[in-house]
Amino acid sequence: MQRGNLAYQVASFNTQVLTMNPLSTVGLLCAVYFLILRRLGFRKWFRLPNLSVSFPCDLIGDRQIADFSFAGATNLRYRLELRAMPNTRLIRAFQLNNSFTTNDVQVHRDFLKKASQAIRLIRTDNWVKLGTITQTSLDSCLKHFKDGLPYNHSDHEEVMRVVSFSVMLNVLFGVDPSAINLDEARKATDAINRLWVQSKDKDSIPSLYDQTVLNNALEILLPAEYPCEASTNPLNLIMPAYETLWRVVLLTFVSIAYQADDPKTIEELREAVRNVPQCLYQGGDPESKALAIAKEGLRLYPPTKRIYRARLCVSPNGEKGPVAADVEGWHRDSRVWGDAAGVFDPQRFHPRGHERDRENTVVAPTDDIQPTPAIPYYQRIGYFPFGVGRHMCPAAAGFGERIITLLVVELTRRLGDRQTGLKINFNNLKLQKASCTLLPSGRSDMENWVLELRDTRHPDA
């Protein structure tokens, strides 16, 4: 349609709608002007992507699931309902009463406020202190858990779970990690793991034994939080914080400290070991480059692989279950990230872009070729580890990437990297031989990974 025709149609349309009720007239006019401006090329005003390049349209669809707009859900209570329905398994397994499981607007608001306040570590000295706390926790765990395994070996997954758990108990409840009963922490994390697996199977009833073990362990670890009610149950905070953390930290650490063989990626880690935690909340290049490690970990191993919402109606194929935005799928999609989508490469997230792209960008910007190419735009929208829109995670504001970076760096400081003698036995021949390959990230995939402990403290520590 040509612009001249459009102007004529707008004029005759105006005459017709003036005879209608004033409220519907205003609404209708706004909608029509919006559509017309879009056609006339005012995309920029509305932040619309240029869809003329071959665009993965499902990506928009998945973002609309994550931000609830697929259901036109502008009302908070309705959004909570759409999220809570697929999460009833978390009520059955853990009796959670938080933003993920409630329909109650006030419960959601109170919980969100509490969670946001708990993770508001916005000063460098908070992070320096947390670095020391992580080292204390790591030392005690490594000493405590080498039992039963031949000379100085440790179950890598168990250490990661208990260290992440202890650090989060400090952040959320102020618990001193040197005073944590590690056997109880191990019991709690094991029980959480088993209950989580059970909750995924809709036909299974969560084990009463595991629930009792978990509650008893938490009462010993957090005596000040008990007795509690559904809304003050410490698990409400522990689950979204700890459960999102331990696997992404473990997989990021293994990817960069053990698997990486590109000298630039190895140097990224060394630089981070020199700068973290002192650079955190200082801004500038050292911090941005250190955080790029966490960003890349969250890309390849997003803790929330899929964001589920209740389905509005049965699909044409008869599907009744929830709909899901495939976070992990988009984070690994080669249409968005290029051929090396599966390679762990923190440089993608460097403040001034990837060196490779800077070298290849020989075209000077002109009026029609803007300096921002299409691919980085897709990457911006194809990356959503903390969700999309109004219900984005409060940890997206700074805590999430910083805590992952801090834990990965403190692990490297204590255990070293492959070049300084770190040895991880995957108990899987294919994985042992491969380098720079995607690691399996299912809940039970890391169970047999064993850490060989020698004193491999990092030279830059």
Least distance (Å) between residue 237 CB and ligand HEM: 5
- Based on the shown chain and the rule CB under 6 A, indicate whether residue 349 belongs to the binding site for ligand HEM: no
Question: How many Å apart are CA 416 and CA 451, to the nearest integer?
Answer: 12
**Residues 239, 66, 292, 260, CA torsion sign:** positive
The answer to whether residue 385 forms part of the interface with ligand HEM (CB under 6 A) is: yes
Query: Among the candidate windows 148-156, 235-243, 258-266, 437-445, which touches ligand HEM by CB under 6 A?
Result: 235-243
400 touching ligand HEM, by CB under 6 A: yes
| Cα–Cα distance, 387 to 377 (Å, whole number) | 17
Residue 115 found at the interface with ligand HEM (CB under 6 A): yes
List the interface residues with ligand HEM, window 255-314 (CB under 6 A): 303-304, 307
How does strand 450-452 pair with strand 423-425?
antiparallel
Write the DSSP assignment of 318-335 as a string of letters. Answer: ---S-EEEEHHHHHT-HH
99 forms part of the interface with ligand HEM (CB under 6 A):
yes
Task: Provide the sign of the torsion angle of the four alpha carbons 99, 163, 445, 247, taken in this order.
Answer: positive
Stretch near ligand HEM under the rule CB under 6 A, chosen from 198-206, 361-369, 371-379, 394-402: 394-402
Full strand arrangement of the beta sheet holding 153-155: 153-155, 450-452, 423-425
Residue holding tokens 């400290």?
257
Residue 161 touching ligand HEM (CB under 6 A): no
Total residues in contact with ligand HEM, by rule CB under 6 A: 24
Closest to 296 (Cα-Cα) out of 138, 408, 171:
408
User: Does 83 sit near ligand HEM (CB under 6 A)?
Assistant: yes
Structure tokens at 86: 């697929």
Cβ distance to ligand HEM smaller for residue 329 or 353: 329
Q: Does 86 bind ligand HEM (CB under 6 A)?
A: no
Nearest to 282 by CA among 102, 127, 57: 127
Contact at 8 Å (CB) between 322 and 311? Answer: yes
Binding-site string for ligand HEM from residue 307 to residue 346, where x marks contact by CB under 6 A and - marks none: x---------------------------------------
Dihedrals phi, psi of 393, to nearest 5 degrees: -60, 140
Nearer to ligand HEM, 68 or 145 (CB): 68
Residue 119 touches ligand HEM, criterion: CB under 6 A: yes
Binding site for ligand HEM (CB under 6 A): 66, 83, 99, 112, 115, 119, 237, 240-241, 244-245, 303-304, 307, 385-387, 391, 393-395, 399-400, 404
